[in-house]
Amino acid sequence: RYLKGLGLDVYVVAVGSSDPQDKANWIKNHIEKGYNDILFLDDSPKNVNAVRKLKQKYPNIKMDARVVNYD
């Protein structure tokens, strides 16, 4: 609902873990499959920071990782 309210038509993936590195690894795997335009929204700064670190390893991808409040 939150994303649709922003006008975004995307799919949401539940990684099944609260470990920030697991979330970053899921995205890393998709970058290595060829994805190069990534938007990561999460209410946990730890998760967002883990994903942002990927930009250092993959500087040529378009990535936006933000902490959001889902209220």
Query: What is the per-residue pLDDT across 11-25, written as a single tens digit (0 to 9) for each?
Result: 778 899 999 999 999
What is the chain's mean pLDDT, rounded? 91
**Core vs surface per residue 2-39: b (16+ CB within 10 A) or e:** eeeeeeeeeeeeeeeeeebeebbbebbeebeeeeeebe
User: Whole-angstrom Cα distance, residue 18 to residue 35?
Assistant: 23
Percent of the chain with pLDDT over 90: 70
